Each structure stands twice: as C-alpha cells, then as structure tokens.
Structure 1
Amino acid sequence: MNAIPSQEVASHCLQAFTQLVPVSQAAFYRVDRHLQARDFQLQGMSDDMHLDYLDNYRQFDPLQPRNCLSSGLTVVPLGLAMSRQPPRDSRRYQHFLQRYGVVDVVEVLAQRAGQPQAAISLLRTAGQGAFTGDQLAQLNALQSLLQMAVANMQPCEDALLELTPKERQIALLLRQGASNKQLAQELAVGLPTIKTHLINLFRKTGVSSRTELVVSLFL
C-alpha cells in the first residue's frame, strides 16, 4: 500500500473529528522521536494564538505528547492531564486558554510500537462548554480511525521536521522551482529576508545550493 501524504491525512482526520464532535479550534500534528509536536495543521485557530502558544506556553501544556504518553491513554482530557503536573504550570496554561476563550481541550493520539506518531488537539469555547462523557466516548471510537490513517501516512524526514513552518514553506516552494522573486511574492517579504531564510536553510541541512537542499529534504 502506498504511503499517504501527511497533509492529506491531517485534512481528512480534522474534517472527520470536527464534524462529529463540534469544536471551536483543532490542530493535527506529527510527533517526532524526541516526543515533540511538529508540523502543525490548524483548523479555526489563528496564527497569533498558535505562535503565542509555541513561544510562551508550550512548556506548560499538560497535553504535550510526552505527558499524554505517560497517562497510558490515547484520548486524554485536559482535567486529567492538569492533575498530573505541578499546579503552577496548570495555572499558566489555563491563563493561555482563558486569553482565547477556551474552556476545554482533549488530545487524541495515534501510536506505533507504543510511541506517539501523530495527534489531534480539540478545543472548545465557553459557548460550546466542556466535552461531555458521550463526546469523549465518541472520540475514543474515532481514535481507531486516526490510528489506521496514521499507519498509512507518509514518513516525514527528520531534517524536514527540524525546520520552522516558514522554512518548510520555502522548501516546498523550492521543490516546485520557485525563484527568489516568487518566494518573496508568496511570503510577502523582501528579497533580503528570503536570502536570510535560504542561508539558514542551507546551514540547518548542511547543503550549499537549492538543488542539494531539495535532494536532501525530499529525495
């Protein structure tokens, strides 16, 4: 069976989960060998909120892959996860959620050989209320579908995982043959900024040209 691109898996899984269990925001992400969440695909979540999370609150998130793995569950409610970490960290994470009107979060994990491979984070606002017992049961049933989808997902190279979202965007455009001018237009930045991104990409991947970069990341 041919592997399925991760973006396609993410889109289908997000659509299925959010149609059956109403949420305000959702995110699909990969989990690397260091148990770090990578390659986020967002639904209904603003870039500002996501960047705020990554820059300021990620370390306080009780639903990080490592924490979810230690719970022994594949569907992990926020309340349970917060009870397993220091109260001060839970308060900081609650502050983040309150800033964006979120009252409840559930994480659904897919594992391979006992290790998380990908997950979906589901968030609800005050208008929707906390997840009910019936909804958690639905998510447990849906987890098996996520498990099957991730099993057929195209592996993602470690080198690509180490790139920032903007660097990955540039790398994908380079694979399509984009010039510096086209990159600048697509990202709405100046040519000097594009050159800086390319320098950083070359340094991270240990290459010295566009061709070598594409071969290193995608071939």
Structure 2
Amino acid sequence: MNSIPLQEVAQQCLHAFTQLVPASRAAFYRVDRQLQARDFRLHGMTGEMHRDYLDHYRQFDPLQPRNCLSSGLTVVPIELAMTRQPRRDNQRYRDFLQRHGIVDVVEVLAHRAGQPQAAISLLRTAEQGAFNSEQLARLEALQSLLQMAVANLQPCEDPLLDLTPKERQIAHLLRQGASNKQLAQELGVSLATIKTHLINLFRKTGVSSRTELVVNLFL
C-alpha cells in the first residue's frame, strides 16, 4: 500500500480529534527511534508557544514519548503522567502551561512494534476546562483510528544521523542563532570553510536557508 503524505495524515487526524473532543490547541507529531517527538503539525497553537516549548520546556514535559511509553497507556492524561516524574519538573512545566493559559493536556499515541510511532497532544484552556471521563473514553475509542491513520507512514528517522559530527555541531549552533562569524570562531575555521559546510548541509537536507534547515532538523 502506498504511503500517505505526512501533512495530509496530520491535518485529517487533528481535524477529527478536535471536532469530536474539542481542544483549544493541538499538535500532531511523529516519534523517532530515540523516542523524540519531531515533525510537528500544529492546530490553534502559535509558533511562539511551540518554540518556547522546544527551547525551554520540552525536557520537563511529563508527556514526552518516553514517559508515555513507560506508562503502558495509549491515552495519557497529564495528571497521571505527572505522578511519574519529580515535583520540581512538574512545577516548571505547570508554569509554562499557565503562562499560555492551558489547564489540561492529554496525549494519544499510536504504536508500531511496541514503540510509539506518532501522537496527538490535545490542550485545553480554562474556557473549556479539564477533560472529563466521558471525553477521555471517547479518546480511547479514537485511538484506534489514529493507529490506522498512521499505519502507512514511513518510520521516522533522525535526520541528524546522516550528518557528520562537525555538521551536527554547526546545526545545533545555528539553532541557537549563531552567525557565520560565530560559527567560525567556535569551530576554529575560516569563514570560507563555514560556507562550504553550510552548502553541504543545505544539500543533504534539501533546504535553501538557515531557517528551513533548523525547521527540517529540529521541529
């Protein structure tokens, strides 16, 4: 069976889930072999909030794929997930959610060979309130549809694995906003060498700008 484009799968899943179980914001993502979430598609969520999450709060998220896998569940409420990590981390993540007006989060996961393959994160504001037991039961039923929807997606590979150690170093520095001059200073090479590395990075990842490169590798 032919694979279905990721964008189409994500849009259809986000539309179905948020129509049947209303959520203020949502995100669809794939999970790579290192159990990292990537290839995000957002619904009702600003890019600013998403960047804030990736840059500062992802490590405190109790609903990361690794944590959800250890729970043994396919529908994981945040309150349950928070019982499985330190209170200090929970408080930092609550601060992030509160700053963005979020009062409840639920993760719904699809698996392949016992490993998370993709997931949908549903977030609700105070206006909608927390998910109730009926809505959680509805998400349990919808999980099988998510499972079928992502069955033909190609396994998610980490694009950083195709890069050399120096290229990975440059990619991480670019994510932090480093200029060519700063890259040259950090690596101890000339600007011409940096430009050559960037050309190779763009070619390998099929992009034409720094912004596209960071999105392709990290978002």
TM range (shorter): 0.7 to 0.9
Shift of 1:55: 0.5
Match of 2:200 in 1: 202
1:155-179 deviation digits (Å, cap 9, x = unpaired): 445428989xxx9xxxxxxxxxxxx
- Counterpart for residue 71 of structure 2: 71
**CA displacement 1:61-95 (0-9 Å, x = unmatched):** 00000000000000000000011100000000000
- Give yes or no for the alignment of 1:56 onto 2:53: no
Q: How far apart are the structure 1 equivalents of 2:205 and 2:106?
A: 40
- Check if 1:36 corresponds to 2:25: no
Contact 1:29 1:38 in 2 (8 A): yes
List 4+ stretches of structure 1 deviating above 3 A. 154-158, 160-163, 196-201, 203-210
The root-mean-square deviation of aligned C-alpha atoms, in Å, is: 2.8
TM-score relative to the length of structure 1: 0.75
Q: CA deviation at 1:119?
A: 0.3
After TM superposition, give the deviation of residue 202 of structure 1 in Å. 2.2
Alignment of 1:1-219 (within 5 A): 1-159=1-159, 199-200=197-198, 202-203=200-201
Within 2, Cα distance between the matches of 1:161 and 1:42? 25
SS state at 1:62 partner: coil
TM-score (structure 2 length as normaliser): 0.75
Specify the code of the residue in structure 2 equivalent to 1:202.
Answer: N
Q: Determine if contact 2:117/2:155 at 8 Å carries over to the other structure.
A: no
Pairwise CA distance, 1:47:
0.4
C-alpha distance in 1 between matches for 2:95 and 2:144? 32
- Distance in 2 of aligned mates of 1:90 and 1:81: 9
Q: Distance in 2 between matches of 1:15 and 1:77?
A: 20
1:127-148 Cα shifts (integer Å, max 9, x gaps)? 1000000000000000000001
User: Residues of 2 paired with 1:126 and 1:5: CA distance?
Assistant: 34
For residue 70 of structure 1, give the secondary structure of its aligned residue in structure 2: helix
Aligned partner of 1:188 in structure 2 is none
How many equivalent residue pairs?
Answer: 180
1:22 deviates by: 0.6
